[in-house]
């Protein structure tokens, strides 16, 4: 427990660094937490092969760059004691070649890194070189070190290749013997599951077998472990947590391995009465005796509710997860169940199944007393205290609601992303190459049409591309430019397609063939939510000005493509200099139709 506690969000989190972890493992004689290293096999095959190339490992802090370097060193015969000396630049003979390993490029002084990069630039451009490198650095540090290196043709060439690999994942300069692996592109949702399995199934838990709290099933630490790992019918927690992590990553909120370890440790050990907000085994008897065991709820800890608000706001994993607003967002049906379910016969059956069935974190003594006091009212009743309990129950319900009740209780209404469930379903179906839910594309097209025109148009089988007469980002565009068919027809098509980053885009194809590829817009969960809300009638600019501008920029790209198509077809201007303007009119059912006006010059 002491070792696991050090993974949590505490001020002295030495276990967040690979070097400290190795020392702690030896000191406590604990089996290490072993996680899959996604690039390890490829790195070993490269450096032990007949024709190795230089490898750069990038990623954000905590992604496992040092771990990869140490494992490569050990697997290729490097001495553990030599590695533990902490030398900035390590060298190892591998066959007839020399392998140079730098576990953190930022540790080198400017003159040291300049000399190293100059050597790397020479060696990667010379096929006959017998020196290869394994360099680890954060994205920003890598680029800064390249800029500070000597301005030689080799260094400039190396910089261009590295930038290409960082941005696009590929390069046209095939002669440079270099490969780049970005750890930050790993799917964090899968890593979350690996970490839960490794921590939850660690052999160290066998030490709890003789504990009185374990025999009485009163230990919140063991209860949290059961719920985290999915034991005793609690499998929904890790599934919904993985969904939140995936959505956050698609929105640009990356979860490095270090942050996931901190999150899982906090979920198991979190309690506001523990030192630094984390329980130890010695804290459990007092917490249980005080009747405050419900504050150790995994459903609160996953959002950092066990910490002081100022600390939770500054701790990255909780900062990202709290953007979903779970606990603050709700629906009438959910709150009616949680507030009135104990007394209202209409809610009696679901209340028993969803609240009373969980006496540990559901219908606890604190909750039932607060619920009764809230309903009965009276002078001196602190209603705000019950509202905090109600928030915790909404959080619990999000992670425990059975799949067969997700639609009835509108699970994702408990978050600020009401269309997140549809987003995840589309991503899953695209990845499995299965038919998509028909309503998803219709919703996206309707949302695009309303942004493109500034009108409440209902068209969803065609994209209404409109303009105000210029390329200005006008809120209302009354002139029809093109009606683009959504189903494939005459070379036109609007579809949802996977992108190289692992998400998906809306793609608009205007012509057949590959000469003019489809115009694409990446749909992050935020953009997807924006288009879904607009499709339901929300005002675009009031919901998200940034998303509104992104969609208008997408429209401008489409307008350029349609203008190019008309010029190629020769139908941009009519005969005798006549210009036909098409104004948008809405029918009684809200469909956009053109009204032609001919202008003679």
Q: What are phi and psi of 59, to 5 degrees?
A: 150, 175
The token pair at 454 is 């500034």
Structure-block tokens of residue 50: 């007949």
Q: Cα–chain-centroid distance for residue 8?
A: 20
Question: What three-state secondary structure class fits 579?
Answer: strand
* DSSP symbol at 176: S
What residue has token string 């927690």? 237
Write the CB contacts of 50 (distance below 8 Å, at least 6 apart in sequence).
Answer: none
Query: Residue 416: exposed, middle, or buried by beta-carbon count in 10 A (0-12, 13-18, 19+)?
Result: middle
Q: Are 484 and 492 in contact (CB under 8 A)?
A: yes
SS3 assignment, position 474: coil
* Residue 446 to residue 466: CA distance in whole angstroms: 14
Smallest CA-to-CA distance from 360 within 289, 273, 279, 293 is with 293
Q: How far apart are CA 268 and CA 278, in angstroms?
A: 9
Gyration radius (Cα) of the chain, Å: 29
What is the predicted pLDDT for the residue at 515? 64
Q: Which pLDDT belongs to residue 570?
A: 63
**Residues 6+ away with beta carbon under 8 Å from 519:** 507, 508, 509, 510, 554, 557, 558, 561
Judge contact between 157 and 125, C-beta under 8 A. Answer: yes
Residues 65 and 71: beta-carbon distance below 8 Å: no
Between CA 275 and CA 279 the distance in angstroms is 7
* Distance of alpha carbon 126 from alpha carbon 597, whole angstroms: 67
3-state secondary structure of 87: coil
State how far the Cα of 584 lies from the Cα of 563, in Å rounded to an integer: 18
Euclidean distance between CA atoms 316 and 314, whole angstroms: 6
DSSP 97: E
3-state secondary structure string, 101-159?
Answer: EECCHHHCCHHHHHHHHHHHHHHHCCCCCCEEEEEEECHHHHHHHHHHCCCCHHHHHHH
- How many other CB atoms sit within 10 Å of the CB of residue 233? 11
Q: Which of 296, 288, 292 shows the shortest CA–CA distance to 271?
A: 296
Residue 405, CB-side half-sphere exposure with 13 Å CA sphere: 14
Chain-centre distance of CA 536, in angstroms? 26
* The pair of three-digit structure tokens given for residue 317, joined into one six-digit string: 């994993």
Q: Is 204 exposed, middle or buried (0-12, 13-18, 19+ CB in 10 A)?
A: middle
Q: pTM of the full predicted structure? A: 0.90
DSSP string, 418-453: TTHHHHHHHHHHHHTT-PPPHHHHHHHHHHHHHHHH
Of 415, 402, 231, 397, which Cα lies nearest the Cα of 323? 415
Distances 284 to 31, 201, 217, 220 between C-alpha atoms, Å: 25, 21, 12, 7
Residue numbers in the chain where pLDDT is lower than 50: none
Strand order in the sheet with 578-586: 462-467, 479-485, 578-586, 592-600
Scan for tokens 């992050």, then name that residue: 524
Cα 538 to the center of its chain, rounded Å? 25
pLDDT of residue 565: 81
- What pLDDT, on the 0 to 100 scale, is given for residue 411? 95
| pLDDT at res. 573 | 53
User: Residue 466: which residues within 8 A CB-CB, separation 6 or more?
Assistant: 452, 453, 454, 477, 478, 479, 480, 481, 584, 592
Q: Collect all residues with Cβ–Cβ distance below 8 Å to 209 and sequence separation of at least 6.
A: none
């Amino acid at each position: 427990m002491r070792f696991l506690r050090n993974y949590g969000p505490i001020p002295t989190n030495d276990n967040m660094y690979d070097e400290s972890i190795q020392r702690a493992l030896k000191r406590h004689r604990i089996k290490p937490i072993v996680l899959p290293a996604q690039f390890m096999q490829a790195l070993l095959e490269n450096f032990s092969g007949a024709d190795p190339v230089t490898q750069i490992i990038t990623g954000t802090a905590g992604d496992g760059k040092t771990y990869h370097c140490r494992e490569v060193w050990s697997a290729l015969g490097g001495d553990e004691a030599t590695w533990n000396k902490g030398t900035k630049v390590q060298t190892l003979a591998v066959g007839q070649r020399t392998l140079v390993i730098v576990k953190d490029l930022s540790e080198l002084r400017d003159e040291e890194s300049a000399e190293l990069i100059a050597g790397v630039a020479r060696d990667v451009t010379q096929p006959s070189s017998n020196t290869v490198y394994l360099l680890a650095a954060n994205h920003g540090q890598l680029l800064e070190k390249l800029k500070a290196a000597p301005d030689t043709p080799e260094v400039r060439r190396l910089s261009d290749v590295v930038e290409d690999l960082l941005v696009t994942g590929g390069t046209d300069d095939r002669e440079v013997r270099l490969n780049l692996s970005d750890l930050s592109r790993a799917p964090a949702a899968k890593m979350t599951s690996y970490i839960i399995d490794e921590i939850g199934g660690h052999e160290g838990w066998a030490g709890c077998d003789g504990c009185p709290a374990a025999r009485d099933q009163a230990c919140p630490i063991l209860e949290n472990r059961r719920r985290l790992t999915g034991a005793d019918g609690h499998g929904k927690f890790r599934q919904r947590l993985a969904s939140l992590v995936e959505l956050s990553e698609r929105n640009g909120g990356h979860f490095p391995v270090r942050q996931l370890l901190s999150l899982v440790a906090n979920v198991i050990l979190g309690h506001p009465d523990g030192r630094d907000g984390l329980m130890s085994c010695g804290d459990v008897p007092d917490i249980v005796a005080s009747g405050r065991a419900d504050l150790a709820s995994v459903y609160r800890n996953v959002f950092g509710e066990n910490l002081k608000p100022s600390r939770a706001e500054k701790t990255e994993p909780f900062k990202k997860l709290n953007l979903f607003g779970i606990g603050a967002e709700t629906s009438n049906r959910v709150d009616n169940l949680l507030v009135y379910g104990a007394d209202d016969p209409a809610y009696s059956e679901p209340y028993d199944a969803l609240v009373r069935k969980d006496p540990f974190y559901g219908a606890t003594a604190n909750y039932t007393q607060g619920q009764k006091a809230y309903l009965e009212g009276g002078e001196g009743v602190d209603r705000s205290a019950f509202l905090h309990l109600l928030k915790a129950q909404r959080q619990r319900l999000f992670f425990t609601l059975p799949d067969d009740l997700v639609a009835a209780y509108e699970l994702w209404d408990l978050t600020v992303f009401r269309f997140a469930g549809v987003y995840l379903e589309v991503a899953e179906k695209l990845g499995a190459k299965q038919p998509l839910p028909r309503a998803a594309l219709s919703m996206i097209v309707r949302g695009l049409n309303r942004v493109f025109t500034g009108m409440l148009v209902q068209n969803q089988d065609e994209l209404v591309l409109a303009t105000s007469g210029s390329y200005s980002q006008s809120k209302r565009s009354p002139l029809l430019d093109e009606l683009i068919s959504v189903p494939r027809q005459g070379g036109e098509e609007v579809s949802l397609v996977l992108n190289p980053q692992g998400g998906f885009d809306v793609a608009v194809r205007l012509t057949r063939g590959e000469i003019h590829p489809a115009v694409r817009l990446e749909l992050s969960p935020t953009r997807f939510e924006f288009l879904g809300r607009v499709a339901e009638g929300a005002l675009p600019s009031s919901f998200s000005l940034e998303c509104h501008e992104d969609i208008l920029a997408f429209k401008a790209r489409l307008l350029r493509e349609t203008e190019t198509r008309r010029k190629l077809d020769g139908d941009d201007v009519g005969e005798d200099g006549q210009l036909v303007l098409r104004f948008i009119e809405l029918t009684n059912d809200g469909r956009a139709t053109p009204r032609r006006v001919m202008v003679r010059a």
